[in-house]
Amino acid sequence: MRLLEVWVKSPMLREAELLIASECLRVVNPQLLEELARGKVLLTVCPESDGSSYYGKLASIIRSSNPRSLTVVTVDGSPHCFQVHAAVNEAAYVLGRHLNRTHYVVVDGRDLVRISPEAVRVARYLSLVDKLVRSNPAILKELERHSLEYKLAKETRDAEL
């Protein structure tokens, strides 16, 4: 079910284990999504098409339905999907309460990688990300393995030199 289409006090959400997932995971890796959704209530969201109203909707679901846990899984490298992780952190902050949550990204459409809420917070501060890149330039080799955008930028930059 789509996150924006569910009633925040729906009985199926009450004290449930929720999985908030990128809508595109249905296509990118349906087997992984099915596996992660076992025993959970699956709600999908696409920040690119849904706008930003899911920020408030997440907080309302948490406040109204008191889920036991919340798992977030999105596609790594998507600037839109990143927002879902930020929205879950924001909901916990706005509500002022501990939220039993787990964040995951799917790397290159295959590999499930757990990330910390702190990684999501740091990612919002580009000045801090820049410090991390400058102190660990080898991370750019890792980026090159995953990012077509970075590869093209590097080729273009190298061609200009």
User: What are the pLDDT tens digits along the chain (161 aa)?
Assistant: 999 999 999 999 999 999 999 999 999 999 999 999 999 999 999 999 998 889 999 999 999 999 999 999 999 999 999 999 999 999 999 999 999 999 999 999 999 999 999 999 999 999 999 999 999 999 999 999 999 999 999 888 766 54
Query: Token match 């890149």: residue?
Result: 133
Whether the CB-CB separation of 114 and 107 falls below 8 Å is answered with no
pLDDT score, position 5: 96
Is 104 in contact with 113 (CB distance < 8 Å)? yes
CATH no., domain 3-124? 3.40.50
Query: CB–CB of 66/99 below 8 Å?
Result: no
Please report, to the nearest 10 degrees, the dihedral formed by the alpha carbons of residues 115, 57, 14, 106 taken in order: -30
Distance CA 91, CA 27 (A): 27
The whole-model pTM stands at 0.92
Q: Please, where in the chain does CATH 3.40.50 lie?
A: 3-124
- Look at residue 51 in the predicted model and tell me its pLDDT: 86
Q: Which two tokens stand for residue 4?
A: 């924006």
Query: Quick one: pLDDT at residue 160?
Result: 59
Give me the pLDDT at residue 27, please.
97
Neighbours of 13 (CB within 10 A): 20
> Which of 76, 105, 75, 71 lies closest to 88 in space, CA to CA?
71
- At 91 the pLDDT is 95
Mapped onto helix, strand or coil, the DSSP state of residue 76 is coil
